[in-house]
Every structure is written in structure tokens, then in C-alpha cells.
């Protein structure tokens, strides 16, 4: 029993010692202040520069696309048949109005001219005119043929008068008077025939003159000239080839000015007028071409709901080519006041355009609608107004990001 009680007392002392030790630890722990978790410092905002949306004066434009076409296109052909003796142009050759493009062999045409000239000279001689000359006027009564017939007529008239007087005096028989009267009638008929013959010869002379002119024209037509100024888009004949009348020799296109056919959207059609300025850009050409609206269709196309507009585009330097796709701006109004910001201030993502402003040192996204690019600035159609402060270079900034804003220089 004494041994068991001793063990119990030992366990009791051990438990008391442990309890006192735990109490001491709690006392020490409560006496020591708890520092808690370390405090989190605010990160400094990203530095950005702000610029103001400003009001600029520009023109109002309507955008459209289209295709450049030659102002004129001519398939140059022969007017007479013949063999090609000389061809002076090839693909890409530039010609002016009246330049020689090709020549046909003129031998046959020259022979026809000589033949027609000989026939004309013969006709002039038959009328009593010199073989050489250009004045074909003739008075029938002054020709030898008519004068001879007139002399015979006068002689017959005198014979009739004398015979009639003798018959009244009873010196001759009635038969002699009748013969004189008949001779007078024959002479009158021959006189009229002479006059008609001269008139016929005059008509023949006019015909021979026309035949000579036609032969000379056919000779001239052996030289094929350019009816317009432009360039050769296709050569369609070769030297030595025999061409029938009307056969093509080359295709010419007039490249200055060019004709630009534009499809203007229906919503902008009401603003387009003849005479408005057009600014044209073509891929691969550094400069902007200029032109004027020349023709406007009276109706909107039902198929694509666009208005066909034709503009004449200056192409003196021949940098533009027919058939090229072009983008154009039609200036429909001038001196229009618009709101602009630097182009770099506009961020586009997934088709959404926006700018960033700053409020309470944090970025705020504002959706905008942009218009035309004006150099290094862009027009703002909707979203912000003049004076709004936007981040000049937003980069990868997002909404709600802390920033430190300063004014851009």
C-alpha cells in the first residue's frame, strides 16, 4: 500500500509541474506583443502622358472603291486592203494624235490615182479646157460643140426665111419651102443635142474629179495613223501580212485622263455631285492621284445598293494603268470641324476601337468611333469631345490599372 501511494504522489507532483510550466509559458506569451503580418505597400502607378482631343478643320469625304479604265479604247483597222509594208508600233508604244502607226504597200493605190488623173484630163479636154487645172466651170454656149450647132441653126433659120419670102413671091414651089422648114427643125434639134452633150460631159468631168479624189484618199489610207493619243495595248498585225479592208492592226487606249468607275454606298449617294474633287490611291503607287466627278448615274443599283459614279483622273505621268483596282475619296464638303487625337492613342481590339482616360489615378476605357486618318492623327466621330484628355501611348494598358499621369510635351 505504501508503495502505491508513493507512486500516486509522484504522478501528482509531475502533473502539477507540467501545469505550472504551461502557465509560465502563457504568461510569457501574453507579455510579448504580437507583431502580426507585415504591412503591404502600394505599388507606384505606371507613368503615362496625356494629350487633349482637339478640333481640326478638314474636308468631308465619301469613300468608295472601283476600277480604272481607259477614257477611250480604239481598235485601229485598215480602210483599204493591202499588204503591211511597215509597222511602227508594238505593245506599250505611246503615240500622239496623228502619229503614223503602220503603212500598207501603196503600189496599187498609186496606179489607181494615175488612172483616175488621166481620165479627168481627158474629160477636161473634151470640154475644151486645159488638161491641167482645177477650175472645171464651163458655159455650154461657149463650147465649140454648141457654137457649131448654133451656127448651123442660124444658117437653117436664114434659109427658111429666104425660102418663105420667095414662095410668097411665087418664085419657088411649096416643096422647097417645106424642105427649108424641115431643115430648120433638124438644126434646132441638133443644137439642143449639143447643149445636152456639153452638160453630159460636165457631169462626166465631175465624176472623174470625184474618182480622182477617191483614188487619192485610198492612197492616203495606206498610211494608218492614230485617231487618239495614247498607248498600244495590243498589236494585231505583222509586216508582210495581207489585210482585208477593216482588218485590225492595233488596239489603242487613251490613258490620260483615265476613267474611274466607283461604286458609292447608298447611304452616301445623296452627297455626291458632278464636279466634286476625287482623291485616288492605288496599291504600288506612292503618290495620290487627283480627279473630278464627271458623271453620276441617275439610279441606285438594285443588285448591290450602290450608285455608279464616274470620275476623270489625271494621269499625265502615266503611273496609273487601266484595269487597276483603286480606292477613292470623294470630297463632298470643305472646311468641316472635326475632333482628332493622335492615331497612336486609339487602341483596336476585336474590332472595337477605344481610348484610355485617367480618373482617380486609374485608367478608364472609352469606346470611340473613328473616321478618316489625317496624317499622324485620326478623326473621332463619336465617343469623346474636344478637350478630353487621353493617354497618348496606351500600349498594353488595361482598364483600372493605376497610373501616374503627366502632360505630354
Structural Rg of the chain based on CA atoms: 54
Contacts of 315 (CB under 8 A, 6+ apart): 255, 256, 257, 258, 289
Task: Average the pLDDT over 300-309 and give the result.
Answer: 93
pLDDT of residue 23: 45
Dist. CA 278–CA 285, nearest whole Å: 16
pLDDT of residue 42: 56
Task: Average the pLDDT over 3-20 and give the result.
Answer: 44
Give domain limits for the chain.
49-58+337-407, 62-70+255-335, 73-105+223-250, 107-220
The whole-chain average pLDDT of the chain stands at: 87
Task: Average the pLDDT over 342-348 and give the result.
Answer: 92
Question: Strand order of the sheet with strand 100-104?
Answer: 223-225, 100-104, 82-87, 242-243
Can you spell out the DSSP letters for 338-359?
A: EEEEEGGG-EEETTEEEEEEEE
Dist. CA 113–CA 103, nearest whole Å: 17
Residue keyed to cell 482616360: 357
All three cell numbers of 406, joined, read 503627366
pLDDT of residue 72: 92
Pairing of the two strands 46-52 and 403-407: parallel
pLDDT of residue 378: 92
pLDDT of residue 307: 94
Whether 26 has a pLDDT exceeding 70, the answer reads no
Helix (H) or strand (E) holding 99: none
Q: Which of 163-172, 176-185, 237-246, 386-395 has the lowest mean pLDDT?
A: 163-172
Query: Quick one: pLDDT band at residue 119, thresholds 50, 70, 90?
Result: very high
pLDDT of residue 157: 92
Instruction: End-to-end CA distance of the chain: give it in Å, rounded.
Output: 101
All three cell numbers of 63, joined, read 469613300
pLDDT of residue 237: 95
pLDDT of residue 405: 85
Task: Average the pLDDT over 133-160 and give the result.
Answer: 88
pLDDT of residue 5: 43
Residue keyed to cell 481627158: 122
pTM reported for the whole predicted model: 0.60
Whether 292 has a pLDDT exceeding 70, the answer reads yes
pLDDT of residue 43: 60
Q: Which of 22-36, 101-115, 386-400 has the lowest mean pLDDT?
A: 22-36
Give the CATH number of domain 49-58+337-407; options: 2.60.260.20, 2.40.420.20, 3.40.50.300, 3.30.499.10: 2.40.420.20
Task: Average the pLDDT over 272-288 and give the result.
Answer: 92
Cis peptide bond N-terminal to 324, omega within 30? no
Nearest to 365 by CA among 351, 353, 378: 353
pLDDT of residue 388: 92
DSSP class of residue 132 equals S
Phi, psi of 8 (to 5 degrees): -65, -40
Query: Quick one: pLDDT band at residue 96, thresholds 50, 70, 90?
Result: very high
Count of residues in the chain: 409
Residue percentage of the chain with pLDDT more than 90? 60
- Domain 73-105+223-250 indexed as CATH 2.40.50.100: yes
Dist. CA 202–CA 127, nearest whole Å: 7
pLDDT of residue 233: 92
Q: Which of 75-89, 106-120, 131-145, 212-226 has the lowest mean pLDDT?
A: 131-145
232 or 15: which leads in pLDDT: 232
Whether 404 has a pLDDT exceeding 60, the answer reads yes
Dihedral sign computed on CA atoms, order 360, 364, 370, 375: positive
All three cell numbers of 198, joined, read 456639153
Widest CA span in the chain? 227
Contacts of 108 (CB under 8 A, 6+ apart): 82
Whether 192 has a pLDDT exceeding 80, the answer reads yes
62-70+255-335 maps to which CATH number? 2.40.30.170
Residue keyed to cell 505550472: 20
Number of alpha carbons in the 13 Å side-chain half-sphere of residue 81: 2
Residue percentage of the chain with pLDDT more than 70? 89
Query: Quick one: pLDDT band at residue 409, thresholds 50, 70, 90?
Result: confident
pLDDT of residue 351: 86
**Is the distance from CB of 361 to CB of 403 less than 8 angstroms?**
yes
Query: Quick one: pLDDT band at residue 398, thresholds 50, 70, 90?
Result: confident
Whether 52 has a pLDDT exceeding 60, the answer reads yes
Nearest to 235 by CA among 256, 253, 208, 254: 253
pLDDT of residue 138: 84
Q: What percentage of the chain's residues is helix, strand, coil (to nearest 5)?
A: 35, 40, 30
Query: Quick one: pLDDT band at residue 57, thresholds 50, 70, 90?
Result: confident
Contacts of 310 (CB under 8 A, 6+ apart): 259, 260, 261, 262, 293, 294, 295, 296
Give the C-alpha distances (Å, rounded to integers) separating 405 from 52, 393, 402. 13, 12, 10
Contacts of 231 (CB under 8 A, 6+ apart): 92, 93, 94, 95, 252, 253, 255, 318
Residue keyed to cell 441617275: 298
Contacts of 87 (CB under 8 A, 6+ apart): 101, 102, 235, 237, 238, 239, 249
Whether 389 has a pLDDT exceeding 70, the answer reads yes
Dist. CA 334–CA 275, nearest whole Å: 14
Amino acid at each position: 500500500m505504501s508503495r502505491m501511494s508513493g507512486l500516486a504522489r509522484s504522478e501528482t507532483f509531475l502533473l502539477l509541474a507540467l501545469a505550472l510550466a504551461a502557465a509560465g509559458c502563457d504568461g510569457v506569451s501574453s507579455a510579448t506583443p504580437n507583431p502580426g503580418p507585415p504591412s503591404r505597400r502600394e505599388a507606384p502607378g505606371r507613368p503615362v502622358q496625356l494629350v487633349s482631343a482637339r478640333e481640326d478643320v478638314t474636308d468631308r469625304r465619301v469613300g468608295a472603291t472601283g476600277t480604272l479604265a481607259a477614257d477611250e479604247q480604239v481598235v485601229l483597222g485598215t480602210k483599204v486592203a493591202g499588204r503591211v509594208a511597215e509597222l511602227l508600233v508594238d505593245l506599250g508604244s505611246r503615240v500622239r494624235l496623228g502619229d503614223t502607226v503602220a503603212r500598207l504597200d501603196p503600189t496599187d493605190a498609186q496606179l489607181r490615182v494615175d488612172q483616175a488623173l488621166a481620165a479627168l484630163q481627158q474629160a477636161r479636154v473634151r470640154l475644151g479646157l486645159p488638161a491641167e487645172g482645177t477650175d472645171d466651170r464651163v458655159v455650154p454656149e461657149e463650147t465649140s460643140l454648141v457654137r457649131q450647132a448654133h451656127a448651123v441653126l442660124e444658117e437653117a433659120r436664114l434659109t427658111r426665111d429666104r425660102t418663105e419670102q420667095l414662095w410668097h413671091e411665087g418664085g419657088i414651089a411649096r416643096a422647097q419651102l417645106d424642105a427649108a422648114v424641115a431643115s430648120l427643125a433638124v438644126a434646132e434639134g441638133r443644137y439642143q443635142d449639143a447643149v445636152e452633150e456639153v452638160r453630159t460631159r460636165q457631169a462626166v468631168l465631175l465624176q472623174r474629179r470625184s474618182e480622182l479624189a477617191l483614188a487619192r484618199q485610198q492612197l492616203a489610207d495606206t498610211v494608218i495613223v492614230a485617231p487618239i493619243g495614247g498607248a498600244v495595248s495590243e498589236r494585231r498585225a505583222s509586216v508582210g501580212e495581207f489585210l482585208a479592208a477593216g482588218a485590225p492592226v492595233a488596239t489603242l487606249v487613251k490613258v490620260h485622263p483615265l476613267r474611274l468607275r466607283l461604286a458609292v454606298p447608298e447611304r452616301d449617294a445623296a452627297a455626291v455631285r458632278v464636279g466634286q474633287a476625287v482623291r485616288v490611291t492605288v496599291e504600288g503607287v506612292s503618290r495620290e492621284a487627283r480627279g473630278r466627278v464627271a458623271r453620276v448615274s441617275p439610279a441606285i443599283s438594285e443588285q448591290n445598293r450602290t450608285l455608279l459614279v464616274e470620275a476623270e483622273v489625271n494621269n499625265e505621268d502615266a503611273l496609273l494603268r487601266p484595269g487597276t483596282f483603286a480606292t477613292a475619296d470623294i470630297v463632298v464638303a470643305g472646311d468641316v470641324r472635326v475632333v482628332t487625337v493622335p492615331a497612336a492613342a486609339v487602341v483596336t481590339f476585336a474590332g472595337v476601337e477605344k481610348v484610355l482616360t485617367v480618373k482617380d489615378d486609374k485608367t478608364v476605357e472609352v469606346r470611340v468611333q473613328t473616321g478618316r486618318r489625317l496624317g499622324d492623327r485620326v478623326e473621332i466621330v463619336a465617343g469623346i469631345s474636344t478637350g478630353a484628355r487621353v493617354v497618348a501611348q496606351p500600349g498594353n494598358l488595361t482598364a483600372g490599372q493605376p497610373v501616374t499621369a503627366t502632360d505630354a510635351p
